[in-house]
Amino acid sequence: MSKIADIEAVARAAVHAGGAELRRRYHADDSEGTYTSCDVKAAADKATEERMLPVIRQAFPDHAIFAEEAGEFEGTNPYRWIVDPLDGTNNFTAGLPTFASAVSVRYDGDPVVAAIHQPVTDETYLVRRDEGVRYNGTTVTAESSVPVDAGTVAMIVGREVPQNQDLAEQARAVQSTVETEVKRVCSSWAPVVHSGLFARGRLQGVVQFHPDEEEQAVTELLAAEADAAVRRDGALFVAASDEATLDVLWGAATTR
């Protein structure tokens, strides 16, 4: 069995390798990509993933990998890596600096490690099961003194949601009811960035609805290791800075 500390070190190296590519392309005003009404596939996605995958495969050739661009790589080990080379592609191509490279690692299906690097602001999150969350080397938690009615919450939906009328209507209903309880709901185009902000107490909650696999493991591991209050019902996941805030957010999110 691979050592978790070694896996975390490789995860950190992978997101920093990806971040270096993103930083270079961002400052070169690279907006090349295929644009649709629901999403954008940037040239930077593939180029960044090509920097990240060799770091992981050289260190752990027997680990399975799911890469957003290249797809599945089978392995003979219980570990499975999930690689999100550019979380926040729409932001990146629009020239907004809110994006990141991220990886998560599951062991027998359970998330055990995650790493996030935001290259423009040079911010790094590392999270390991039962070891907490570190932000630029300092341990952080989701604790916040901001009351719920003055709070900011991130709303995260998967890429399939806008393309499915029923799911899209459900997501809008969830967001609209949560908005009645807090100061602001951010519709997140960079889920791992907002999940990181939540894990260090800068946001007071996160609502996930049918999230993509690339972001789900990162967000849920961050919430668990940042001592957040969490609740789930199928494809709906809500995390909050404390139980009282969770009660309010969950009550709003599950109102039909």
Cα dihedral across residues 208, 214, 217, 219: positive or negative = negative
**pLDDT class for 36, splitting at 50, 70, 90?**
low
**Beta strand pairing status for 205-209 and 236-240?**
antiparallel
Contact 18, 51 (CB under 8 A): yes
CATH 3.40.190.80 in the chain, residue ranges: 148-253
Please report where in the chains the tokens 């709901």 appear, as a residue.
185
CATH 3.30.540.10 in the chain, residue ranges: 4-130
Task: Give the pLDDT score at 256.
Answer: 64
- CATH node for 148-253: 3.40.190.80
**pLDDT class for 1, splitting at 50, 70, 90?**
very low
Q: Which of 9-13, 152-156, 186-190 is least confident?
A: 186-190
What are the tens digits of pLDDT across the range 113-157? 999 999 999 999 999 999 999 999 999 999 999 999 999 999 999
What are the tens digits of pLDDT across the range 16-27? 999 999 999 999
Q: Is the pLDDT of residue 32 over 90?
A: no
Contact 124, 116 (CB under 8 A): yes
What are the tens digits of pLDDT across the range 151-178? 999 999 998 898 899 999 999 999 999 9
For all residues of the chain together, what is the average pLDDT?
94
What are the tens digits of pLDDT across the range 42-93? 789 999 999 999 999 999 999 999 998 888 999 999 999 999 999 999 899 9
Whole-model pTM? Answer: 0.93
Give the tokens for residue 94. Answer: 């629009």
Q: Which CATH superfamily is domain 4-130 in?
A: Fructose-1,6-Bisphosphatase, subunit A, domain 1 (3.30.540.10)
